[in-house]
Amino acid sequence: MAVDATRLDGKVIIITGGAGGIGSATARLMAARGARIAVADIAFEAAQALADELPDAIAVRLDLEDEASIEAMIADTVAHFGRLDVLHNNAALLGPDIARADNDVETMQTALWDRTYAVNVRGTMIACRAALPHLRETRGNIVNTVSNLALQGHMIQAAYSSSKAAVIQMTRAIAASHGIHGIRANAIAPGMTMTRALREAFPPPLRVAVESETLRDTLGAPEDIAEAAAFLASDAARNITGQVLVADGGCASHVPGIAQFRAFFSGEH
């Protein structure tokens, strides 16, 4: 009987931002496929509640602006499970208030720019740095969540999108420097994903505008991104490294204005 390479049996996986919409969906899916999970989040009570639901999981308090906190996340996970197979850097500085303040460069607050890079880039780097010695032992891998905005220009979210572009390059650098040690590194670039927080905070007209540019008939769900993360973390992706998997329903794949083209040709026919 062929082995199912998408299974994660016995793998120890850290998921940062694990208590959030995409993070919690990913934790549940990976646990269902046999992984042992460290749910790492600044919202520790939510992380603990999720860990209590899973068959073999712990909650870890994480503040990505605090180097000691990041290093403790790796150390505590290895101390508890005895190994580390996958680091899934999923957390980012992205809440309603942050998103409203993150506009174009001309109006950018230096403090917001610095904090975005401190969390999204510096924090991710420190987590990778602390994890790499353990991943070398298990020939493990890193999965970084970025964004399709890291691949496209937009009139808003200059700090967030450019920080995620930096994480893409960091991912490639790790893949290049540590592939010889059997370590893979990849990134997932979601588009707008219908988490509960987004549904509550994002203006419906803008959501409709994005949805109209999607090549599916709906926006992605957290479970869609979880499937991509679980695939990259698994041995089914053993020949994939240094790549960006765009999981945005096709938004970044087509010519501008496709919604208007669609409406025009539908009217003709």
One of 160, 175, 211, 234 is an active-site residue; which one? 160
Count Cβ atoms below 10 Å from residue 86 Cβ, excluding itself. Answer: 26
- What element of type H or E holds 216? none
Write the pLDDT tens digit of every residue in 83-127. 999 999 999 998 888 988 999 999 999 999 999 999 999 999 999
Six token digits for residue 24:
């919690």
Domains of the chain by residue range: 12-268
Nearest 5°: CA angle at 149, between 19 and 152? 170
- Residue 44 has, within 13 A of its CA and on its CB side, a CA count of 6
Sheet (strand 184-190) strand order: 57-61, 36-41, 12-16, 86-89, 141-145, 184-190, 244-247
Given the structure tokens 């905070």, which residue do they identify?
201
Q: What is the rounded CA–CA span in Å between residue 59 and residue 23?
A: 13
- 268 pLDDT higher than 60: no
pLDDT at 223: 96
Give the residues across from 57 on adjacent strands.
Answer: 37
CB 230 within 8 A of CB 268: no
Closest residue by Cα to residue 144 from 91, 83, 84, 75: 91
Most confident of 87-91, 190-194, 245-249: 87-91
For residue 71, how many other CB atoms are within 10 A of its CB? Answer: 15
pLDDT of 266 strictly over 70? yes
pLDDT tens digits, residue range 33-75? 999 999 999 999 999 999 999 999 999 999 999 999 999 999 9
Residue 201 has pLDDT above 80, yes or no: no
Query: What beta strand segments (E) does the chain contain?
Result: 12-16, 36-41, 57-61, 86-89, 141-145, 184-190, 244-247
Instruction: Give yes or no for residue 171 having a pLDDT over 60.
Output: yes
Q: Are 235 and 5 in contact (CB under 8 A)?
A: yes
Quote the pTM value.
Answer: 0.93
Instruction: Report the chain's mean pLDDT, rounded to a whole number.
Output: 93
Q: Is 244 helix (H, G, I), strand (E, B) or coil?
A: strand
**117 belongs to the catalytic site:** no
**In angstroms, how far is CA 179 from the centroid of its own chain?**
21
* H helices, E strands: number in the chain: 11, 7
Q: Most distant CA pair in the chain: distance in Å? A: 65
Q: Measure the CA–CA gap between 22 and 7, rounded to whole angstroms.
A: 20
156 vs 54, which has greater pLDDT? 54
DSSP 178-207: HGGGT-EEEEEEE-SB--HHHHHHS-HHHH
Residue 211 to residues 165, 199, 214, 245, 249: CA-CA distances in angstroms?
A: 23, 13, 5, 20, 9
Fold of 12-268: Rossmann fold (3.40.50)
pLDDT score of 202: 73
Task: For residues 249-255, give the mean pLDDT.
Answer: 85
Mean pLDDT of 223-244: 98
